[in-house]
Amino acid sequence: MATVSVQARIAWLGLGLLLALPTRAATVLEDAAGLHITGEIEPGDDIKVAQLLARNPTFLLVDLESPGGDIDTAMSIGAVLRKHDAIVYSTGCYSSCALIIAGGVIRARTPLSNRDPVVGVHRIFFAELKPGLSQDEVKARYDAQLKRVRKYLAEMNVAPELVSFMQSFEPGEMHILTHEELTRYGLGARDPVYDERLTADRAAEIGITSLEYRERKSRGREACGDVNAAEDEQERDKRAQCQVAIEYGISISTYRQRGAEYKERCRAFTDEKEKWRCYVHFMVSGQAVP
């Protein structure tokens, strides 16, 4: 268990939280399920996250539960998560935590869920500010912070206009982003650039274009039903198999037949990537990789 602690200077925190809660650093933990980031974000937390991910680059799942904290540290953590194609899920991500979840390539409320994460925002404010500064001095500092946040969001493929939307909510308020708002501002379920990469890779495996793959995915959802809306595990598996069969361009009976045979056809491969390549090739063509 690791805990990181340095006092925050600039925070996005609800005023009630700021007055009622003691300063408390985020806790950054790792286990077999992935990375867990909880508590207030403070300087130094980004270093801890970067070190853990450098040591365990396969930690794709990140559990994020935070009331917010230091803005620059949050952006740094988000950039690290993006570098590792992290999947971020959260049932409570507020204030500057929204900048962290922006770094995820896939975002959800819980693992393997199609429900939106819970993300709360309000305008940026200074947790500490030297008294006696002029209007122009404070404005210069404030504008500089807004500029850094907008630049970061653009790098994460999130609409910089999100900042303007957030500015309409006072520090004492906390606006929970709706599904429509998450989608509009680019904080939806999947980062668009990551989606393009994933689609291109999947289409290439099958031997079709990205456009054809997207059309097959659409036909699969329409013909088979929503996998996540299935009432039980059996129905979920049935819908998933139906959709994958359409993606592969084969019938469901052929999918099941080849699914029962592929292990024998691909048993010569021990490397996981090569085994997967053999699996897809056989499912699509009915022939093992030469």
- Check whether residue 36 and residue 112 sit in a common domain: yes
Summarised one tens digit per residue, pLDDT across range 105-157 is 999 998 877 789 999 999 988 888 889 999 999 999 999 999 999 999 999 99
Number of domains in the chain: 2
Q: Note whether residue 290 is domain-resident.
A: no
In the prediction, which pLDDT does 30 show? 64
Domain hosting 10: range is 2-189
In the prediction, which pLDDT does 111 show? 81
Q: Note whether residue 123 is domain-resident.
A: yes
- Check whether residue 49 and residue 120 sit in a common domain: yes
Q: Note whether residue 55 is domain-resident.
A: yes
- Check whether residue 164 and residue 224 sit in a common domain: no
Domain boundary among 142, 169, 189: 189
- Check whether residue 146 and residue 61 sit in a common domain: yes
Least confident of 12-21, 67-76, 186-195: 12-21
Instruction: Look up residue 77 and give its amino acid.
Output: I
152-180 burial by CB neighbour count: b if 16+ within 10 A, else e? bbeebbbebebbebbeeeebeebbebeee
Q: Is pLDDT above 60 for 5?
A: no
Domain boundary among 144, 165, 189: 189
In the prediction, which pLDDT does 108 show? 92
Q: Note whether residue 49 is domain-resident.
A: yes
Query: pLDDT-derived band of residue 26, with 50, 70 and 90 as boundaries?
Result: confident
The number of beta carbons lying within 10 Å of the beta carbon of residue 225 is 16
- Check whether residue 155 and residue 13 sit in a common domain: yes
- Check whether residue 96 and residue 34 sit in a common domain: yes
- Check whether residue 93 and residue 154 sit in a common domain: yes
Summarised one tens digit per residue, pLDDT across range 65-110 is 999 999 999 999 999 999 999 999 999 999 999 999 999 999 999 8
